[in-house]
Amino acid sequence: MTPTRRLRRGKRARVRPTRWTAVAPASTSNLGPGFDCLGLALRLPLKVSATRIPSGFSIRRLGEGSDLAIDPHHDKVLGAFRHLLRLAGGPVPTVALTIRSDIPLARGLGSSAAAIVAGLTLANHWIGGRYTREEIFREAIRLEGHPDNVAAAIFGGLTLSMPRLDGSVEALPLPVPRGLAITLVVPAIRVSTEKARALLPASVPLRSAAGNTARAMALTHALSTRRFELLAEALRDVYHVPYRARLIPGFDRVVEAGRRAGAYGVTISGSGPTLLAFHAPRFGSRIGGAMVRAFARQRVKARAIPGRVATKGAHASTLL
């Protein structure tokens, strides 16, 4: 409903919004064997605000990515914003965008998915919420190319993206594990999703694929039943981790350092190079420190940050 204000003679006049905002969380995907289907939303937000301007588009970046050149023709937030408005059949307003992100770029933490979801969510709010979250999910997959990160960014929490026979994808919510903490170890190197995908094999042996399916199922079992001692085995993967590990200096030694410091299991976050460690609460500082030092021995600077789960997905608001 459009806000109103009361006039002296009893008439009511529309109060025109001055700024629209949308927020989308970061995400970690795959979680080892859940390639392109498991996603977990993280409390590292990307926030975008839009104000009308007379003509054209402008973008201002704050936080992560603010040091990079801005190209409105290739910006994912603006592209998604314009995509949904064109889909709706209405005019595309000329706006000034301010994008503030806490998500490290090209680190396997869903920065691209968050940008797309924030742009779609902003546009949907602009036109009065015409589209459902499931419809936003469909368009996000179309723009991103795969569902795992965008599902987590839209719905929050832990999601399983299940492809249907008709080509659609349904996002199934999974219980967020209790009593389990996460630490993200982010090395100061960037890996593009395209480069990471180019390393993947065209096929894997049937026996290896069957084992991966079993471990993916064991992973969801371990998380839902708190059988965390299974995570070391359940996180093992043959689809992508062995190949993407080649882009991460000292991968095996950093993983081993995390395990020795008390982690239940360590794997690559998304396409990398960030590493994701699951552990008991209050062990994060010790595990993160051990993994950062292991990276340092490879002459790679890294930082450890808590991977708090975002139970709430993308949302929008209007400022008057």
Q: Is 313 annotated as a binding-site member?
A: no
Q: Is 281 annotated as a binding-site member?
A: no
Q: How many CA atoms lie within 13 A of 4 on its CB side?
A: 7
Lowest mean pLDDT among 4-8, 161-165, 212-216, 241-245: 4-8
On the question of pLDDT at 112 being above 70, the answer is yes
Q: Is 113 annotated as a binding-site member?
A: yes
Q: Is the dihedral of CA 166, 169, 175, 180 positive or negative?
A: positive
CB within 8 Å of 295: residues ≥ 6 apart:
185, 187, 249, 250, 254, 301, 302
Q: What is the pLDDT of residues 34-59, one digit of tens each?
A: 999 999 999 999 999 999 998 888 99
Q: Write down the pLDDT at residue 117.
A: 98
Domains of the chain: 12-175+309-319 (3.30.230.10), 181-306 (3.30.70.890)
pTM: 0.91
Q: Is 222 annotated as a binding-site member?
A: no
Task: Report the pLDDT averaged over residues 178-192.
Answer: 93
Q: Is 109 annotated as a binding-site member?
A: yes
Q: Is 105 annotated as a binding-site member?
A: yes
Q: Write down the pLDDT at residue 134.
A: 97
Q: Is 107 annotated as a binding-site member?
A: yes
Whole-number average pLDDT of the chain: 92
Q: Name which of 188, 199, 193 is nearest 274 in CA terms.
A: 188
Q: Is 40 annotated as a binding-site member?
A: no
On the question of pLDDT at 71 being above 90, the answer is no
CB within 8 Å of 196: residues ≥ 6 apart:
108, 240, 244, 247, 271, 272
> What residues form DSSP beta bridges with 306?
183
Lowest mean pLDDT among 71-75, 115-119, 247-251, 261-265: 71-75
Q: Is 151 annotated as a binding-site member?
A: no
Q: Is 6 annotated as a binding-site member?
A: no
